[in-house]
Amino acid sequence: MPVVSQREYWDKKIREWTFASYGKNSRIGVIEKIATYFRSVNKRKDAALKLIGPIARGKTILDLGCGLGEFAFAILRYDPKKVLAYDISDVAIQEVKKSAKKLKTKNKIEFKTCDVSTLKQLPSCDIVVGLGFIDYLNPTQLKKLFKLIGNKPYLFSFFQKSISLFTMLHKIYVTIQSCPGAYKYSRAEIKKFIPKGSKIFFLEQDGLLFISNSPKIAKPL
Ligand SMILES: C[S@@+](CC[C@H](N)C(=O)[O-])C[C@H]1O[C@@H](n2cnc3c(N)ncnc32)[C@H](O)[C@@H]1O
């Protein structure tokens, strides 16, 4: 099978992936239906909202790998100043644009098609979020991202490297789908990627794993 780039992969995939993951009515292939059963993507978004919601008011939130904007739109109910929604897939960003127009949230959401791994600096923001995002960054890219973020509070969902049925099925899934790069890391590996002296917390919310450098996010009041 031809090797495609992350951009091409997600341009093709993001609509079906989102419709399947968030239980939306659409034509969904059998493989995606099975994969959805294992992913808990909607639950992950709700868990992230519980963690970020209480500190979101008046803040600018940068959503990396925003997909069709499920988190970006949902966090608006917590009254952030702004949400910056970035994704490598232009198909995804065009959909976010359409939804923003439909939901009349245009002034609150700024969107941008961009490969986050090539950014030299992050836009001005208060909190960085990425759901199902760091799984598509290789070690060099992830290390660079942590360096760019510095001390800014972040929350990333985290699929831990492990020997399990889920890991095996996920590997089969990404191979069948010709995904150009999907990565799982151990806690020790993640700790090696963060800049020296930085904090990192591994936290669980509603059964889903996340990483953060902020005690405010890791221990919500
Ligand atoms: C598993 S989807 C998650 C989408 C969304 N965060 C959600 O949870 O509904 C991963 C997203 O990351 C985006 N992505 C992957 N690599 C990226 C990169 N280097 N820069 C920006 N976006 C990227 C993909 O286009 C895709 O939309």
pLDDT in tens, 76-126: 999 999 999 999 999 999 999 999 999 999 689 999 999 999 999 999 999
Confirm whether 172 is domain-assigned.
yes
Task: Find the CATH number of the domain harbouring 191.
Answer: 3.40.50.150
pLDDT class for 220, splitting at 50, 70, 90? Answer: low
Confirm whether 93 is domain-assigned.
yes
Range(s) of the domain holding residue 23: 6-218
CA triple 160-163-165, angle to 5 deg: 100
Name every protein residue with a CB atom under 6 angstroms from any ligand 1 atom.
6, 10, 14, 41, 65-67, 70, 86-89, 92, 115-117, 131-133, 136
Among 18, 22, 44, 133, the mutation site with the greatest number of ligand 1 atoms within 8 A of its Cβ is: 133
- Domains of the chain: total: 1
* Cα–Cα distance, 112 to 20 (Å, whole number): 24
What is the residue whose two structure tokens read 């904007």?
69
Q: Which residues of 172-183 are buried (b: 16+ CB within 10 A; e: fewer)?
A: ebbeebebeebb
pLDDT of res. 171: 79
Distance 130 CA to ligand 1 centre (A): 8
Confirm whether 96 is domain-assigned.
yes
Q: What is the percent of the chain where pLDDT is above 70?
A: 95
What are the tens digits of pLDDT across the range 164-214?
Answer: 777 778 778 778 878 888 899 999 999 999 999 999 999 999 999 999 999
Helical segments of 63-107, H only:
70-74, 90-102
The whole-model pTM stands at 0.93
Confirm whether 1 is domain-assigned.
no
pLDDT of res. 55: 97
Confirm whether 212 is domain-assigned.
yes
pLDDT of res. 203: 96
